[in-house]
Amino acid sequence: MLHLKSLLVLVVFLFCSIASSNPRPEWFIPPPLDPSGVKLETVELYDGVFALMSNTPFADNSGFVVGDDFVLVIDAHFTGNMGKQIIDAVKKITDLPIKYLVNLNAFGDHVFGNYVFPASTKIIAHEKTIDFLKENSLQKRKEIISVTVGGSTELFKDVIDRLPTESFKSKKKLNLGNKIVELHYFGPGMSPSDTVVYVPDAKVAWTGNLIFGKGSIPWARSELLSDYFQTMKRFKSKINPSLIISGHGKISEGSLVDEYISYLDYVLKLSKSLNKENISIEEYVKTLNIPPEYLIEDDIKELMAGFHKWNVLNSYKQIKTSATQLKDRKNLGQKVDRDGKVVK
């Protein structure tokens, strides 16, 4: 009877934790991603390697890589008009065909422009991105992303659903003709399927939402912050970019990887220490500031302040949930390892 009671407590606790994590706190500002009026500036980074940088602080960036035979485009942007802007930018540089389009994650601002690319273009994404797109209707995905454009789906009324047709698991190499491009999946970060596009000879990486631009911090929107930390460490051990083109924000140096690792480590340690204190975490984060050693760009300070509060709040809850799981599993007589996982 005791075991059954303990199990019931665990189930109720986990349900409440999940449910309570969904509402957006009053202090949180959604990323401002409205593409209306956005212009993409073509920036040549290296021979055949081009970034397409948004002229507004956090609207989506893109880019493309040109080989001797083919072109690869990174992300399709938010709407058909933005997708056409990317295609036009490519045509100003080369007449070669766009053979590949890579979607860096499943959010609408990265995939909604897919439908305007040539029918011959192969669209590639991580398998988790494709799973999400198949499991959620276009309308549902419009509603999810609408919070970033004022809450309306009107902006996406003309979008036609076009899903990636080719997937990869951890790494994929593509040859554009004397130009190699690598696709990497290092693990979950801001989302479950954050993908990195890396051009080895140029040492340039497109990081989507895994790493935002210069003067930013991570946002563990829906994933475990501890997993994000491990993902970034794998990133550092596998590739060494000199330049990072983020999905949102300014071009940054590769050293931003170390700053992200440092920040995530800081939040994890802070959350663990807070779990030992008798506090209201919801009240605590309201007055929380980003430590001064993490230099934030002026035009995204308010946005990053919300990311920081979100990260600490969710990390705290994740650690508390893990501790409760460990205790209840032991009460149920289950053997667990030091990470709280059941040993079979």
Residue 330 predicted with pLDDT over 90: no
CA angle centred on 136, ends 77 and 155, rounded to 5°: 40
Residue 259 predicted with pLDDT over 50: yes
Q: What is the mean pLDDT of residues 299-317?
A: 96
Q: In the numeric block, which tokens belong to residue 109?
A: 């601002």
Per-chain mean pLDDT for the chain: 90
* Encoded amino acid at 42, one letter: T
- The pLDDT assigned to 325 comes to 57
- The pLDDT assigned to 134 comes to 98
CATH architecture of 40-254: 4-Layer Sandwich (3.60)
Write the CA distances from 188 to 77, 218, 234, 334, 340, integer angstroms: 21, 12, 11, 28, 20
Q: Tell me the per-residue pLDDT of 31-80, one tens digit each, with 9 for 90 and over.
A: 999 999 999 999 999 999 999 999 998 999 999 999 999 999 999 999 99
Contact 100, 207 (CB under 8 A): no
Q: At what angle do helices 225-238 and 301-331 cross, to 10 degrees?
A: 110
Q: 304: how many CB neighbours lie within 10 A of its CB?
A: 21
Where does the pLDDT of residue 322 fall: very low under 50, low under 70, confident under 90, or very high at 90 and above? confident
Where does the pLDDT of residue 339 fall: very low under 50, low under 70, confident under 90, or very high at 90 and above? very low
